[in-house]
Amino acid sequence: MALIRCETCGKPAGMRQDYPHVHAATSTRRLMCGAPHCPRMATYAWLTDEEEEQYRRGKRSFRAQRYRVQVEVT
């Protein structure tokens, strides 16, 4: 699952998985940053290596962690 963050919070840290790949994110819903206690709107989706491989093969829609929505990445 993609992690979504605002520009200020940036790369997720302290997670069980590593999320080294970042892409701009959009959704049909307004999504808040997934970082604890952050009130800003999410602008980026961070992907795992496996998700990045899917992205390179053409997948552009990923489920956002903490939300029941798909996030489009570019």
pLDDT tens by residue, 31-41: 889 888 999 99
Give the three-class secondary structure for 47. Answer: strand
**Backbone conformation region of residue 16, classed left if phi is above 0, alpha if psi is from -120 to 50, else beta:** alpha
Which of the 8 DSSP states describes residue 29?
S
Beta strands in the chain (DSSP E): 3-5, 21-26, 44-47, 61-63, 70-73
Rg, C-alpha atoms of the chain: 11
pTM of the full structure? 0.86
- Condensed to tens digits (0 to 9), the pLDDT of residues 8-49 reads 999 998 888 999 999 998 887 888 898 889 999 999 999 999
